Amino acid sequence: MHKKLLIPGPTEVSQEILQEQVRHLIGHRGKAFSDLYRGIKSKLTNFFRLPDEYNPTVTTSSGTLWFDIVGRSIVKENALVCVNGAFSSRFAQTIKNCGKKVDLVEVDWGKAVKTRMIADKLESKKYDTVVMCHNESSTGVRNPIYEIGDFIRREYPKIIFAVDSVSSMAGDKILPAEIGCDVIFASSQKCFALPPGLCISLVSDRAIKRAVCVSNRGSYTDLVKIFEFEKKHQTPFTPNISLMYALDKRMDLLLKETYDQVIGRHIKMAKYTRDWAKKYFELFPEIGFESVTLTCIKNTRKKNIDELIAKLAKKGFLISNGYGKLKEKTFRIGHMGEWSINEIKKVLAIIDDIWELEK
């Protein structure tokens, strides 16, 4: 039985998009591919309102590849990494595992990283890169990247600011030029509502210039090589052409819906889910820092979450238990990609029924 995905990725993908993958393949060094890829990049540029100094690119990988790309091609010596959940922790560990020095701004899971925490660290030591995760899908916390980006740009113009937006780009408001970030990336299977297998990244000229000065970048993790091939509207290594077709179609649909409507729809779904959660439970994230693309709910009623997931699965929907140490203590509902407010209402009503919450 098909279970519709409300987990924090992969999210549900429509038949219309899946069908794009059935198109015949083309050579990745020919004009047809370059035309396709140039079109995708032009649509990404329009949608994310990229000025000239920002460059879109697409890699055949999960989002995690970009942890390595930041570690291998961006961090010169010292990175300051903000950690408030499992994915930002993995980001920090990856950069360490690339042989670079890492200091942390670490806050409890459920809390957001604040500008003044970063300011304190940057005052005490020289860093070449600041790294953070915008939307921690392990905790449902959304960090204030606009305020942080503005601060870094103003006070430390030489620092490269790299942001994991894996589960928020194309759902939450992500406009790199307004954030002031240099590298920001997202996986195809989250708000883009595509199958997994691609990572969409928006990269500043400053970041590419930085990469030129970093040694031992490898090949698959070499940002410089990626942008050498971008000039020809190609990728350095054979890309997933089937998913490129699907991404092209997705960008058409997103542009048709318009940026503001897409973000507005996600905000509406988040607000409804949060109101529902607050009525019966509590929100896990710190107030004012809740994700727009998934809601992480504190299991204050000590309900059996695994049992709920099983019962809901029989009704055709899949949600997530808490991540790692938060299992059974929290549960997570993803509302990203193609979902609409009416569908979210329907799913929450089924949970009401299963748990008899209205009584």
Chain residues in the site for a copy of itself (CB under 8 A): 2-3, 5, 7, 9-10, 12-13, 15, 18-19, 21-28, 30, 60-65, 67-68, 71-72, 90, 93-94, 97-99, 187, 189, 195-197, 215-222, 236-243, 318, 320
The tokens for 242 are 């089937």
The CA–CA distances, whole Å, from 238 to 125, 198, 244 equal 41, 12, 12
Q: Pick between residue 110 and residue 337 the one whose CB is nearest to a copy of itself.
A: 337
CB 94 to a copy of itself: min, Å: 4
Tokens 């549900």 belong to 12
CB 194 to a copy of itself: min, Å: 9
Neighbour order of strands in the sheet with 198-204: 54-60, 198-204, 183-187, 160-164, 129-133, 78-83, 101-106
End-to-end C-alpha distance for the chain, whole angstroms = 30
CB 73 to a copy of itself: min, Å: 11
Q: Pick between residue 151 and residue 331 the one whose CB is nearest to a copy of itself.
A: 331
Tokens 């924090």 belong to 8
| 158-194 CB burial, b ≥16 within 10 A, e <16 | ebbbbbbbbbbbbbbbbbbbebbbbbbbbbbbbbbbb
Q: Pick between residue 13 and residue 148 the one whose CB is nearest to a copy of itself.
A: 13
CB 12 to a copy of itself: min, Å: 7
Residue pair 271/59 in contact by the 8 Å Cβ criterion: no
Say what angle helices 205-212 and 223-230 make with each other, to 10 degrees.
120
Q: Pick between residue 22 and residue 213 the one whose CB is nearest to a copy of itself.
A: 22
Q: Give the largest Cα separation in the chain, rounded.
A: 64
Q: Pick between residue 232 and residue 278 the one whose CB is nearest to a copy of itself.
A: 232
CB 84 to a copy of itself: min, Å: 19
Residue 295 to residue 141: CA distance in whole angstroms? 9
CB 1 to a copy of itself: min, Å: 10
Cis peptide before 10 (omega within 30 of 0): yes
Q: Pick between residue 3 and residue 153 the one whose CB is nearest to a copy of itself.
A: 3
CB 343 to a copy of itself: min, Å: 16
Neighbour order of strands in the sheet with 294-298: 282-283, 294-298, 330-334, 320-321
Q: Is 219 exposed, middle or buried (0-12, 13-18, 19+ CB in 10 A)?
A: exposed
CB 338 to a copy of itself: min, Å: 12
Q: Pick between residue 27 and residue 264 the one whose CB is nearest to a copy of itself.
A: 27
